Amino acid sequence: MNDTPYRLYGRRNAGSLAIQVALEELGAPYRIEWIPKEPSAVESYRRVNPEGRVPALVLPDGTLLTESAAILIHLAGSDARHRLAPAAGSSAHAHFLKWVVSLSANLYETALRYYCPDRYSTAPADAPRIQAQAAKDYERHLAAAAAALNPYLLGDSYSVADPYLYMLLGWYPGDMTALLARFPALKRHQELLKARAAVARADADHAER
């Protein structure tokens, strides 16, 4: 077995949280390289990841993998003993893929519209309108996830789709207390995730300091 550590490129309070949870759940050796937001730091990071975005994961064989959904699906499939995804080819796995892709394409995309509105228009004056739409969409996508929870996205089975949802819920830009009161399934999900050692470790590392 290759025991070269994974190298996770991340940023506090950013998309590397769910990836770190998956690495922790696997008990895989890894180290985190924190990429500050400063343009000079991002510029030198482009030597590793030309997109300049986090998260990115360098696999033990040196392969660079970007896109949080792809990284999570890859890690879940890398060691089936940890049961971080249903068996490939099963209908449960199809359902798993639907959720990971949906969280990436819808909820993460909405978070980017809210927090980086400048990516969506060249006119700074458009930012408030982009953010207002994103705030609405954020709640709509979370409501769809809440309707599926029982208590995890795949029913009784925990999978890497769950820390993904946990991370994206944590970025909700509105009143979190009111949201969780409206959606008790999301509240329960957040409590279940916080109780996992892997999540507590990643949360502690990702806390802004």
Ligand X SMILES: N[C@@H](CCC(=O)N[C@@H](CS)C(=O)NCC(=O)O)C(=O)O
Say whether residue 53 binds ligand X (CB under 6 A). yes
Nearest residue (CB) to ligand X, 142 versus 187? 142
- The span of 61-69, 73-81, 126-134, 155-163 binding ligand X (CB under 6 A) equals 61-69
DSSP string, the chain: ---PPEEEEE-TTSTHHHHHHHHHHHT--EEEEE--SSHHHHHHHTTT-TT--S-EEE-TTS-EEE-HHHHHHHHHHH-GGG-SSPPTTSHHHHHHHHHHHHIIIIIIHHHHHHH-GGGS-S-GGGHHHHHHHHHHHHHHHHHHHHHH-SSBTBBTB--THHHHHHHHHHT--S-HHHHHHH-HHHHHHHHHHHTSHHHHHHHHHHS--
What is the smallest separation between the CB atom of 184 and ligand X, expressed in angstroms?
Answer: 28
Size of the site for ligand X (CB under 6 A): 12
206 binds ligand X (CB under 6 A): no
Say how far apart CA 202 and CA 149 lie, in whole Å. Answer: 22
Residue 15 sits in the site that holds ligand X (CB under 6 A):
yes
Which residues within the stretch 116-155 sit at the binding site for ligand X (CB under 6 A)? Answer: none
Exactly one of 112, 176, 185, 192 binds ligand X (CB under 6 A); which one?
A: 112
Measured between alpha carbons, how far is 169 from 110 in angstroms, rounded to an integer?
11
Return the number of the residue (165 or 187) whose C-beta is nearest ligand X.
165
Listed ranges 50-58, 139-147, 154-162, 174-182: which one lies at the site for ligand X (CB under 6 A): 50-58
CB of 112 to ligand X, least distance (A): 6
Residue 67 in contact with ligand X, rule: CB under 6 A: yes
Q: Which stretch binds ligand X (CB under 6 A): 66-74, 94-102, 151-159, 184-192?
A: 66-74
Q: How many Å apart are CA 32 and CA 49, to the nearest integer?
A: 15
Choices 49-57, 83-91, 134-142, 176-184; region in contact with ligand X by CB under 6 A: 49-57
Residue 72 as a binder of ligand X (CB under 6 A): the answer is: no
* Two structure tokens written together for 200: 């507590």
Interface positions with ligand X (CB under 6 A) = 14-15, 52-55, 67-69, 104, 108, 112
